[in-house]
Amino acid sequence: MKQLIRSIGLVTLAFTGAVHADAEGHALAGQAWPEQAPTPTLSAEFGFDIVPAPLFVLPNQDNEAYLMEDELSRGSAGSKPLRFAIPVAASMSIDDGQWLQVPGGRLWRVELLSYNATTARLHLTGINLPQGQQLRLSNPGFFDSVVGPIEGVGEFGNGSIWGMSLATNRTLIEWFVPHGQSVTDLPFTGVDYYHGYRKIWKLDELAEGGVAVGPCHLDPICFPTWANESNGTVRLIFGGFVCSGQLIATTAADETPYVSTANHCISTQAEANSCQFNFFYRRNTCASAATAAAGTNVTGGDLVRTHLNSDCTLLMERPTLPTTAYWVGWTSATVPTSTASTGLHHPDGSYQRISFGTKNANSFNCGSPTSNWSSLSWNSATQYGVTNTGVTEGGSSGSAIYRNSDKKMYGVLTCGASACSATAADDGYGRWDVAVNTSSTGFATSLAVGSDDAQEPNDSCAAARALTAGTYSALVVKRLDEDWYALPVPVGSTLTVSMTFTHANGDVDVQLFNACGGAVAVDRNANTNNESFTYVNNSASSTVYMRVYLGADTRNDYTLTFSTSIAVPGNDECTGATAIGNGTSAFNTTTATNSAVAIPASCDEGAGVAMNKDVWFRYTATCNGNARATTCGLAAFDTRLAVYPGSACPTAATAVTACDDNTAGCASGTSTVSWPVTTGSTWYIRVGSPSAASGSGSLTTSCAACLGDFVVDGQIDGSDLGVLLGGWGTAVTDISGDGNTDGTDLGVLLGAWGACP
């Protein structure tokens, strides 16, 4: 809570001479993202929400004793946040819950309850969930209270997760275990139930036991000129404490979800992780009898920087922001005496209030040196038509003080003694200019522009970052700064992409393109944690462009892993040989592998005996005579052919029946083989290359009772002569084996005229 004046023995840090540029306040740039439906409980998802979960009842606590303890500590040294809840360890086992059979697995549930708690919140530790399992935490009766799905060791990477703190004494744990997984223990080791003993949700104070905060407080809804700053004011609930803060702009206005508050409120990563950000908890009509709205709650943050010497902290909120939130502006200049000022805060943890005051000439003793704190008076003058100008209370700590002239923040509340019963008492605000401008430990670098990753700049397809296969961590995608990557994906290969992120922190979506400006090849926009997919690149490009963007929120972190694999042809090995007869069969050796069977030395035509990137066919002969297989002129790369008996797949000891590398007269080093066959005999035809060349082509097979019987009718006659003359000068109708159809072949054909022997 806001405490009485304290003294801290601190080392004074020197200022730099430069003054950092000020930030302007701003709303969301451009069109807001579509509102997303809240995550349901697992019970609702599986249709068991009307079935009560078993109760785990914790003992009542002495709420009055805790309130008295807080009151007695008010005068102690040191500023403290307002405490409202205490942790109560729940020693539970797997037997305390209930198992339900649900589609895809089993659901375990238990509801924790402390009958006299004013609020309830869960903190689980030691989380370690196997693949496929998940947890969800919620507060029954609050449809938008679900935290999760929680997977692995949780999004903080430390096995810890926090639920919501809401105006109920009930919390629910749900645990899903998929089929095939056996469990004997809970997937977490610690359960703390934060028992609320102070009422911090006061939607109707008059109906809830009288005015909980002093009568001098003012509602910001009655002062519309401060509507933007009201939309930027946040109540911070962390552990069992509550403070105030504000969404704060960068000078680049890049929508980084920074929140400023006091160091004495939040100064560790663990406290930041536990932080629940409560926006718009305020009255929405300017009437004394009006009730307050609970606003919007999101949970989980990170500590960015903290500056003890002026009690300032900079957080970054993780989950999806409400689209009507406002980033408040700030100044790094020293604000002069008598500056008319305004504060927006949550006194006593209650709904939002506004206070009007004036900056005093003297500093305020919240610490050492006292010059690092500004002094504010609340009863010095009439402002905005009111003389009852408001004060602060416990729970207001960390809230901003703004100068009225341009509504820029210049400090955060640390300490003081003001109250409705002590309106003449002043308050001390840690100077924001000290926190920003102090050398090495200041906020200047962070506040210039939100942090990004090492792959920047990659904000467009033209600037896509070229990556190699592997894992890339700590990546950041922003709504105003999407990410593009150029991924090497050979034609015919398969791209496998896996991304990990927390969907509740921003809807990360992915698209793939084969060319900048081209059509979308893959579009992934599922509303779930993580993303994975495969893509077979059948385009002409060996580079795929990947766009990562946000469908909701202003930024999120993610990890990207990708790899490529070759999709080998189905006939890559002899055991998968394609059955063929006479005719033409297409093949593609681009992604083929090298079969183990060696080519004998007898097949060496001067280029060695290598057979690379080969595919296999199983041919059945249709005649007693000679079979012929050729790629002559039918492929654009150097081919090699080998033929084996088809009784079984060949081994190293199997003799080659026929082989050829480069047939004379065949373009690009293509090949032709012939061998004697009988009707119904089978043969393996192997098509590869003596080099690393590969590609697509065709294999033509035929069977003739005798050489020159091109039409395969058992006769050498005019039909065959016509075919030979049509192939004159090519290798297609070569009979003599010299790679060219010429007079030699004509002589052979005429000499065999008549019926085949």
Q: Where are the alpha helices (DSSP H) in 197-327?
A: 227-232, 269-273
Measure Cα distances from 500 to 28, 39, 147, 318, 507 in Å. 26, 18, 17, 15, 12
pLDDT above 50: residue 14: no
Instruction: Determine which of 158-162, 242-246, 527-531 has the lowest per-residue pLDDT on average.
Output: 527-531
353 φ, ψ (degrees, to nearest 5) = -130, 165
In the block, tokens 């709904």 appear at 351
Measure Cα distances from 151 to 131, 341, 477 in Å. 8, 46, 21
pLDDT band, very low/low/confident/very high, at 210 (cuts 50, 70, 90): very low
pLDDT above 90: residue 128: yes
By the 8 A CB rule, do 98 and 257 touch?
no
For residue range 367-378, list pLDDT tens digits in order: 999 999 999 998
What is the pTM for the complete model shown? 0.79
pLDDT above 80: residue 528: yes
- Please compute the mean of the pLDDT values over residues 433-458 and round it to a whole number: 91
pLDDT band, very low/low/confident/very high, at 469 (cuts 50, 70, 90): very high
pLDDT above 70: residue 206: no
Length of the chain: 757
pLDDT above 70: residue 211: no
pLDDT recorded at residue 401: 97
Cα separation, 604 vs 697, in Å, equals: 23
Q: Highest mean pLDDT: which of 497-501, 651-655, 709-713?
A: 497-501
Cα separation, 514 vs 542, in Å, equals: 8
For residue range 601-621, list pLDDT tens digits in order: 888 888 888 999 999 999 999
- Please compute the mean of the pLDDT values over residues 154-171 and round it to a whole number: 95
pLDDT band, very low/low/confident/very high, at 204 (cuts 50, 70, 90): low
Q: Where are the alpha helices (DSSP H) in 519-605?
A: none
Q: In what order do the strands lie in the sheet with 520-524?
A: 465-466, 483-488, 543-552, 507-513, 520-524
pLDDT band, very low/low/confident/very high, at 20 (cuts 50, 70, 90): low
- Please compute the mean of the pLDDT values over residues 348-358 and round it to a whole number: 93
By the 8 A CB rule, do 296 and 232 touch?
no
pLDDT above 60: residue 18: no
Compare 420 and 104 and report the one with higher pLDDT: 104
pLDDT above 60: residue 76: no
- Please compute the mean of the pLDDT values over residues 216-231 and round it to a whole number: 94
- Please compute the mean of the pLDDT values over residues 436-463 and round it to a whole number: 92
CATH topology of domain 42-196: Jelly Rolls (2.60.120)
- Please compute the mean of the pLDDT values over residues 175-202 and round it to a whole number: 95
192 φ, ψ (degrees, to nearest 5) = -115, 125
pLDDT over 90, % of the chain: 70
Q: Among residues 336, 270, 273, 333, which one has the least CA distance to residue 301?
A: 273
CB atoms closer than 10 angstroms to residue 454: 10
Q: Which residues pair with 305 in a beta bridge?
A: 314
Q: Among residues 586, 542, 588, which one has the least CA distance to residue 695?
A: 588
Residues spanned by CATH 2.60.120.380 within the chain?
461-566, 574-704
SS3 assignment, position 109: strand
Distance of CA 231 to the CA centre of its chain: 27
Q: Environment class of residue 60 by beta-carbon count within 10 Å: exposed (0-12), middle (13-18) or buried (19+)?
A: exposed
Q: Among residues 642, 640, 657, which one has the least CA distance to residue 697?
A: 640
- Please compute the mean of the pLDDT values over residues 553-559 and round it to a whole number: 95
pLDDT recorded at residue 604: 87
pLDDT band, very low/low/confident/very high, at 8 (cuts 50, 70, 90): very low
Compare 757 and 696 and report the one with higher pLDDT: 696
Q: In what order do the strands lie in the sheet with 696-704?
A: 583-588, 696-704, 625-630, 672-677
- Please compute the mean of the pLDDT values over residues 17-40 and round it to a whole number: 83
Q: Environment class of residue 542 by beta-carbon count within 10 Å: exposed (0-12), middle (13-18) or buried (19+)?
A: middle
pLDDT recorded at residue 265: 97
Residues spanned by CATH 2.40.10.120 within the chain?
205-448
- Please compute the mean of the pLDDT values over residues 2-30 and round it to a whole number: 57
CB atoms closer than 10 angstroms to residue 581: 12
Structure-block tokens of residue 219: 């509602």
| Cβ-based neighbours of 681, under 8 Å, separated by 6 or more | 620, 621, 646
For residue range 307-316, list pLDDT tens digits in order: 999 999 999 9
pLDDT recorded at residue 727: 78
pLDDT above 50: residue 3: no
Cα separation, 103 vs 193, in Å, equals: 30
User: At 422, which helix (H) or strand (E)?
Assistant: none
For residue range 164-180, list pLDDT tens digits in order: 999 999 999 999 999 99
- Please compute the mean of the pLDDT values over residues 274-282 and round it to a whole number: 96
Helix, strand, coil percentages, rounded to 5, for the chain: 10, 40, 50
pLDDT recorded at residue 12: 33
Cα separation, 560 vs 406, in Å, equals: 43
CATH class assigned to 461-566: mainly beta
Q: Among residues 147, 451, 174, which one has the least CA distance to residue 276?
A: 147
- Please compute the mean of the pLDDT values over residues 261-270 and round it to a whole number: 97
Compare 224 and 729 and report the one with higher pLDDT: 224
Q: Does domain 574-704 have CATH number 3.40.50.300?
A: no
Q: Mean of the per-residue pLDDT values for the chain? A: 90
By the 8 A CB rule, do 106 and 98 touch?
no
In the block, tokens 């081994």 appear at 651
For residue range 389-419, list pLDDT tens digits in order: 789 998 999 999 999 999 999 999 999 988 8
Residue type, 702: S
| Cβ-based neighbours of 687, under 8 Å, separated by 6 or more | 587, 589, 614, 615, 616, 617, 631, 639, 640, 641, 697, 699
pLDDT recorded at residue 180: 94
Cα separation, 531 vs 654, in Å, equals: 49
Measure Cα distances from 148 to 107, 284, 516 in Å. 15, 30, 36
Compare 330 and 385 and report the one with higher pLDDT: 330
- Please compute the mean of the pLDDT values over residues 657-681 and round it to a whole number: 90
By the 8 A CB rule, do 495 and 489 touch?
yes
Q: Which residues pair with 359 in a beta bridge?
A: 376
Measure Cα distances from 564 to 92, 468, 536, 695 in Å. 46, 10, 9, 19
| Cβ-based neighbours of 719, under 8 Å, separated by 6 or more | 710, 711, 713
Q: What is the CATH number of domain 205-448?
A: 2.40.10.120
| Cβ-based neighbours of 293, under 8 Å, separated by 6 or more | 203, 280, 281, 282, 283, 284
- Please compute the mean of the pLDDT values over residues 211-234 and round it to a whole number: 87
For residue range 324-337, list pLDDT tens digits in order: 999 999 999 999 99
pLDDT recorded at residue 708: 80
Measure Cα distances from 269 to 147, 156, 257, 410, 499 in Å. 19, 10, 16, 25, 25
